[in-house]
Amino acid sequence: MKHLFTAAFVFLVMAVAAQGRKGLVAGPMLGQVDYRVAKLWAELEPGAKAQLKFWKKGEQAKQAIALNQPAADAAAQGSNIVHFTLPGLEVNTSYEYQLMVNNTNVATGSFTTKELWQWRKPVPDFSFLTGSCSYMNQPPYDRPGRPYGGDSSIYTTMAKEEASFMMWLGDNWYTREVDYYSAWGLWNRAQYDRSRPILQDFWKKMPHYAIWDDHDQDQSW
């Protein structure tokens, strides 16, 4: 009976989490956060529409709305990817945001703009994370025997770090034989990897930058 209760509770938690992200495939992911402008990325379910509300931390009454900008190259392959640009920010200031998909709140997050230190003080100390060769398992298409991947818990640890940004050093996903021969296959591999639940908290914790290597093919972030 105890095991049945535990299983039911886990299923309920998963169902609530899935409902909370309805319409959202992956993200939101922080991109460049500059002095007065910040960028965010998200992937939505086909046909979904998104808006992003953002405000200075502690001043929620002064919300503004940034409309999404669909990525045309993604749409050509059936992916609904949107980019948000948040202008008019103040330097060295914390902001909060709320991602709305189909008029429903699906994710929240925060970020802090850069400090204007030039000609004013020494370069501030900062730290950042790096990593490469991210292999997300998909058993039907993994290599026979013991495949790469197997444990992605490092992303939970990384999402807890107070780093300035994450630099992906290549092989940010591994395209496989079933992906190579079509543009759709390449986009689909990127979509599968970026939508893994274990990555979602990491995407919004800090800005992400990337270079590419052979297994990334020609996909861009």
Which CATH number does the domain housing residue 85 bear? 2.60.40.380
Give the per-residue pLDDT at 78. Answer: 84
Are 71 and 107 contained in the same domain? yes
pLDDT digits (tens, 9 = 90+) for 50-66: 999 999 998 875 677 87
Are 90 and 145 contained in the same domain? no
Residues 6+ apart with CB under 8 A from 7: none
Structure tokens at 133: 């060769």
Are 89 and 145 contained in the same domain? no
Are 221 and 130 contained in the same domain? yes
Average pLDDT, the chain: 87
Number of domains in the chain: 2
CA 150/CA 137 separation, integer angstroms: 7
Are 140 and 220 contained in the same domain? yes
Residue 75 covered by a domain: yes
Domain interval for residue 97? 22-113
Residue 8 covered by a domain: no
Residue 58 covered by a domain: yes
Spatial strand order in the sheet of 208-210? 129-131, 166-168, 208-210
pLDDT band at 21 (very low <50, low <70, confident <90, very high): confident
pLDDT band at 11 (very low <50, low <70, confident <90, very high): very low
Give the per-residue pLDDT at 3. Answer: 45
Are 70 and 152 contained in the same domain? no
CA 87/CA 201 separation, integer angstroms: 24
Residue 158 covered by a domain: yes
Q: Is 111 exposed, middle or buried (0-12, 13-18, 19+ CB in 10 A)?
A: buried
* Predicted TM-score (pTM) of this structure: 0.84
Mean pLDDT of 34-41: 96
Give the per-residue pLDDT at 147. Answer: 86
Q: Is 217 exposed, middle or buried (0-12, 13-18, 19+ CB in 10 A)?
A: middle
Q: Is 192 exposed, middle or buried (0-12, 13-18, 19+ CB in 10 A)?
A: middle
